[in-house]
Amino acid sequence: MDKFETITGVAAPMAMVNIDTDMIIPKQFLKTIKRTGLGANLFDEMRFDRQGNEVADFVLNRPQYRSAEILVAGENFGCGSSREHAPWAIKDFGISCVIAPSFADIFFNNCFKNGILPIPLPQEQVDILMKDAEKGQNARMTVDLEKQEITTSDGEVISFEVDPFKKQCLLDGLDDIGLTMERSANIDTFEAKSKATRPWV
């Protein structure tokens, strides 16, 4: 997993509430176990019509938001089924931070395990960021995980809270496997000792 660095980029506004994981990545795309390639189908049923043509007024199809790195959304983002493909698709599209008033618990935790920073904020602060995001590609927002600050295009600074352990994992680029591999020497020592004392196992 890549280390989370400070993001300065375009934020896409999606004011919808209750955006569920089936909206994020529809069920027909869950056949793969690869984390790559799913970005092409992010929000598929909203981005494309039944003939596969882009829906021009969907936010991520607008020229100013095609390269968005931040998503500002409505409450209860990531509700529905617990599919890990949802954060995979978001990350593969190029979005590394989602800001919303609230998140579904499983989706929230899956984000951290896949290099995405989910930031819950009070509605009034999300409204400020949503309005800033609506300015388009000339309004670049900065998310600084180390300082735990979001800076709008106008220079307004909004602080956010994040679990210290999850924060450090993102900064270090460590998912569950990475955390385990950090202790590989201890694991090897245990395995060697176990083999010596219990050769029948």
Q: What confidence tens digit (pLDDT) does each residue in 135-182 have?
A: 988 889 999 999 999 999 999 999 999 999 999 999 998 765 555 555
Q: What pLDDT is stored for residue 59 in this prediction?
A: 97
CATH of the domain at 83: 3.20.19.10
Q: What pLDDT is stored for residue 71 in this prediction?
A: 98
Mean per-residue pLDDT, 10-36: 92
Tell me if 181 is assigned to some domain.
no
Is 58's pLDDT higher than 90?
yes
Least reliable range by pLDDT among 44-48, 56-60, 61-65, 138-142: 138-142
**Which residue type occupies 192?**
A
Tell me if 188 is assigned to some domain.
no
Tell me if 76 is assigned to some domain.
yes
Higher pLDDT, 138 or 190: 138
Tell me if 199 is assigned to some domain.
no
Each as own residue / partner, the long-range contacts of residues 60-68 (CB below 8 Å, 24 or more positions apart, any chain) are 60/12, 60/93, 63/137, 64/10, 64/136, 64/137, 65/10, 65/12, 65/136, 65/137, 67/9, 67/10, 67/94, 68/9, 68/10, 68/11, 68/12, 68/94, 68/95
Is 29's pLDDT higher than 80?
yes
Measured between alpha carbons, how far is 81 from 63 in angstroms, rounded to an integer? 31
Q: What pLDDT is stored for residue 33 in this prediction?
A: 79
pLDDT tens-digit map of 87-116: 999 999 999 999 999 999 999 999 999 999
**Closest of 184, 38, 70 to residue 134, by C-alpha:** 70
Tell me if 163 is assigned to some domain.
yes
Domains in the chain, number: 1
Query: Domain residues for 16?
Result: 7-173
Tell me if 2 is assigned to some domain.
no
